[in-house]
Amino acid sequence: MSTVCNRRDFIKTATVSAAATAMTARSYGRVMGANERIRIAQIGCGDRGRNAHMAGVHKHDKVENVEYVAVADPWRIAREKAAALCKEWYGTDVKQCVSYRDVLACKDVDAVMIAAPDHHHATQLEAAARAKKNVYVEKPMARNMDELLRAMEAVKAAGVVVQVGTQVRSMPTSTGCNELWKSGILGKASRIEQCRNGEKPYWYHYVKDIQKEDVEWAEFLGKAPKRPFDAGLISGWYGYLDYTDGPVANLGCHFIDLYHYITGAQFPTSCVCNGGVFTWKDEHKFTCPDHVEALWVYPEGFMVAYSSNFGNSGGSRHRYFCEKGQLILDNWTSPTFSAEGGPKRDGGIRGINEVKPIETPDHFQNWLQCMRTGKPTRAPIEAGYQHAIACLMAVESYKYGRRTTYDHSRRAILRG
């Protein structure tokens, strides 16, 4: 069924060297010519693949000279819907693949967009890099340190252009918050927090009836535990720990990446995380926690808190508490800042002020442009590595009931 692409052997290294973390324009080996059409394949054709990736690129396909030439998904209905969109947009029949391996074997594919379930992200990213394809990969980038390091090493060795799907950092207001932070007007942070709540876990939204004969089940499972076909499992995979790591890795990942971008922080020193399935116990037997809370400590001298309560939608907030005031992103499309609560407020901030947005290309267009310029993307592999570390620290703490620490010199998450 699947064909394995021909690509040069990848020489594994024991660790990612510190020097390898600095990506420069000259290190990109897959830069496209100014007039060369970029040919893209979509891997994972569900809601995210079609309605975010494909629709997001389609807005720019004429200006940036790009088109889709292939789609891949183990569910026939999803890939046929994606192919139908391509037919509508370009008037051509694109290649339809069951496996991502078939896409990577296509010589006419320059770049891939990965929106497969979470347990495939790192594997497909590594394989795409080894096949010399530029990549847009959804978050979270990896689910354990081994696959995270392998993917990181493969990208560095291949020199491909990677954009990680933490698109919030490309919002004009996020750029504005970054500039505000660099001005120093808020002073040093003491605590950064987000509570992202809802009446029901988001994974219920995806549950639907899927027919067994329409699915290549083994392709969906990949390296996950083998089990009989289950329509609720393949459609509602967001709710099962065999395929994802729950709210911290899915929703909290955007928060982590954003405060990394705004503050310049990179890696926590420690984390504790707790939670469980407290409210939504039913016939689906979901295993992802519907309530979770994680706390990280950063070497810059502040604490970060993330929580989700899917038993009540009240109390959602997103705040940066600092010595001279607060940055408030409760609605991150219109953030504000004030001197409220700042023990060292000095009159530099008066009243409630809107953060001035700074226009930037959106996340998809930035990736397309960087494939031509060779410049680092807005969310390069390093940013993905950083948020993955914070997520994995929380996942490990939740799983084992232990405090975790991160040793950057050893590239290791430790428990105890």
- Read off φ and ψ for residue 115, nearest 5 degrees: -130, 30
What residues of the chain score a pLDDT lower than 70?
1-30, 34-35
Query: What pLDDT does residue 372 have?
Result: 96
User: Are the beta carbons of 413 and 406 closer than 8 angstroms?
Assistant: yes
Amino acid at site 32:
M
- CATH number for the region 171-358+392-415 comes to 3.30.360.10
Instruction: Identify whether the C-beta of residue 180 lies closer than 8 Å to the C-beta of residue 186.
Output: yes
Residue 393: predicted pLDDT: 98
Selection from 144, 153, 122 nearest residue 10 by Cα: 153
pLDDT at 416: 81
pLDDT at 332: 84
Q: Break the chain into its structural domains and give their ranges.
A: 18-169+364-381, 171-358+392-415
Q: What's the pLDDT score for residue 99?
A: 98
Q: Using one digit for the tens of pLDDT, what is the confidence trace for 243-277?
A: 999 999 999 999 999 999 999 999 999 999 999 99
Among 3.30.70.20, 3.40.50.720, 1.10.10.1100, 3.40.50.10490, what is the CATH number of 18-169+364-381? 3.40.50.720
Residues 6+ away with beta carbon under 8 Å from 303 = 190, 191, 192, 295, 296, 297
Residue 30 pLDDT:
60
